Amino acid sequence: MSKITERDAKVRFYDSTATPFYLELDFDGDYSGPIGQPLNEEILILNRGTMDALAHYIKGSDEALLAPLDVSFKVFARNDDQFKNILDWIAAMNDALATQVNSNALESTKGDTQRDGATANPAFADTNKSTFNIEYLMEMGGTDLGFKLAEVWVPAAEQVLGESGEEIALPITGKIYGTITRITEFTAGTDVEA
């Protein structure tokens, strides 16, 4: 039996165009992300403070259902244009006027999914903020397995470039506002670096 490591996984960014643009990253591991969506809080209702046959639960506010979840992982810089494209992609998600990566116009994924299963997730009040999808896929030796994280916002001001004797790396941290689904292959799209 073998162990799956970060060498067996890949990460891609996707936008919302009809045939989505994607950027495959030089993934350096440290992936940390949820495998499911949040649920409504269950609120216990008792009969005048007493547990009896009338006790029941009611659904709480949808705030918990729509709360953003955290995702993080690390990418490393190579001596080519890919790292510039990563920085441009993050910049495009934080500035409505700078939406191009490698001369390709990106479209936000905000509002593309429905966490409640019926209503599109709301737009941000700040129109400069945009989201994209992240897909994380592990090569399992048979059927691959991974997750699609929809409507992820990566705040540029919170990304901190780091260097060591071995590499220059960018730990990426983001907030997931959309759905989280399992995948067995990457979504078909157009390589933004082509």
Specify the 3-state DSSP secondary structure of 155: coil
**What one-character DSSP code corresponds to residue 62?**
T
Q: What is the pLDDT of residues 143-173, one digit of tens each?
A: 899 999 999 999 999 999 998 888 888 999 9
Q: How far is CA 28 from the centre of its chain?
A: 17
Residue 167 to residues 24, 78, 100, 162, Cα–Cα distance (Å): 19, 9, 27, 8
Residue 15 carries which side chain, given as an amino acid letter? D
Statement: residue 176 has pLDDT above 60: yes
Statement: residue 80 has pLDDT above 70: yes
**What one-character DSSP code corresponds to residue 99?**
-
In DSSP terms, 32 is beta-bridged to: 72
Statement: residue 51 has pLDDT above 70: yes
Instruction: Tell me the CATH number for domain 6-39+66-191.
Output: 2.30.110
Residue 54's pLDDT is 95
Domain boundaries, the chain: 6-39+66-191
Query: What value does the mean pLDDT take over residues 55-78?
Result: 93
Confidence of residue 96 (pLDDT cuts 50, 70, 90): confident
Contact 89, 104 (CB under 8 A): no
Contact 80, 61 (CB under 8 A): no
* pLDDT above 70: percentage of residues in the chain: 96
Confidence of residue 1 (pLDDT cuts 50, 70, 90): very low
Report strand pairing: 190-191 vs 21-24: parallel
Statement: residue 86 has pLDDT above 80: yes
